[in-house]
A = this chain, B = another copy of it.
């Protein structure tokens, strides 16, 4: 996470101020429950909310205390006590630091998830709008980078829409996975704190109680979360690479919006480069990389070790901020993408009719040729187009073996573009529920 690739809302989730505020709320909610249970005075719980709630925590001062205690939660509690006064001794009763830290992380990750879900929603909206705009914009489909058969630009975007819809679903699962609360005390036995406290705090924070924590919330949850972000980032990369391909000089079927004043190159003034999508390719590599340490974090020793902590202090912000930025940037790219249907048409016709080869092949088998014979007939004419720039239809009509099998009108009929797009509506209905 670096400012260049960050948006302030997501960054804010990870600020010390936010963290301390969440810590406070966890402690204060726990006090409410403890007061209900009669463990601490009700009055104390009220005081804690009032005085702590009004407090403006001094990050630098907490850091200073931590330099002595080498313990962040103790440093925070010491600072909090300055605001709350003598009732501060009722705070954190029976709790352990991880109760605060892990529940806080759950709150941060659910908030981050909600932002990422909103990001995906915005991307989906942009994709849908552009997909319908170009539902019938015919373009060549390519397999292996080689012209295959016609499709439409709308179908390309519909595929992206379907893919990000799946990403949304996965993110919902991932969010659910990390949305748990642990207030279970040392090694998670509730020895010094009633399970009711956990239930109360969880409910207040929109989390579920962790069924069995062992001081920490188990890290398979977080591994799944960050792995899911890695998969989403890979989908970002896919669409980014599609656009980079479409913008390359020889293809030029689409272009990132190029703002007035923008300079493509310090040396070459004609350059209009797909720098945003290239950037997204790199960012995707980063988000993906963060999945690995998250998976290695799972195998904590016994009831817990703290090796996960440094990892999460880094990838918590790094992964969510970078993916948030990437999704938002991708939405902007899709939204303003310059699309060139005339170039799509030009490219489609580059190999004079060759894209219709399969239809001819099928027609030949339908009239009784073996698959092998039909294949040979089509291929020998196709190769002339490929190698010498011939016109495929003309070659076929001049090939006696072909015309012996198929009447000219039938051959000509195979060169109709509409044939390829007749099921676009079907596809749109599947993806968008409408066409």
Q: Are B77 and A266 in contact (CB under 8 A)?
A: yes
Q: Are B293 and A291 in contact (CB under 8 A)?
A: no
Bound together, the chains give a CA A233 to CA B221 distance in angstroms of 13
Q: Are A231 and B224 in contact (CB under 8 A)?
A: yes
Bound together, the chains give a CA A146 to CA B310 distance in angstroms of 19
A309 contact set on B, CB distance < 8 A = 278-279, 282
Of B234, B278, B311, the residue contacting A286 (CB under 8 A) is: B311
Interface string of A192-222 (1 = CB under 8 A from B): 1001000000000000010111110010110
Q: A2-B313, A248-B145, A298-B235 are in contact. Are A386 and B270 (CB under 8 A)?
A: yes
Bound together, the chains give a CA A262 to CA B231 distance in angstroms of 36
A298 contact set on B, CB distance < 8 A = 231, 234-235, 237-238
Q: A245-B145, A313-B2 are in contact. Are A358 and B192 (CB under 8 A)?
A: yes
Q: Are A303 and B141 in contact (CB under 8 A)?
A: yes
Interface string of A387-422 (1 = CB under 8 A from B): 000000000000000000000000000000001111
Q: Are A159 and B302 in contact (CB under 8 A)?
A: no
The interface stretch among A48-56, A108-116, A117-125, A163-171 is A163-171
Bound together, the chains give a CA A142 to CA B275 distance in angstroms of 14
Bound together, the chains give a CA A427 to CA B237 distance in angstroms of 34
Chain A interface SS verdict (over half):
helix
A141 contact set on B, CB distance < 8 A = 186-189, 214-215, 302-303
A365 contact set on B, CB distance < 8 A = 89, 93
Q: Are B227 and A189 in contact (CB under 8 A)?
A: no
Beyond A156-B214, A224-B228, 18 extra complex contacts between A and B, CB < 8 Å: A4-B310, A74-B266, A141-B214, A144-B273, A148-B186, A155-B189, A189-B420, A192-B267, A211-B427, A227-B227, A234-B298, A268-B358, A269-B378, A270-B357, A272-B386, A279-B307, A282-B307, A286-B315
Show 26 residue pairs from A and B whose CB-CB distance is below 8 angstroms, ordered by the A residue.
Answer: A2-B314, A5-B310, A88-B371, A89-B369, A95-B266, A96-B266, A145-B247, A145-B248, A145-B273, A147-B249, A149-B191, A151-B188, A151-B189, A151-B303, A155-B212, A159-B212, A166-B177, A195-B423, A195-B426, A220-B234, A231-B298, A242-B301, A269-B375, A278-B305, A281-B307, A291-B291
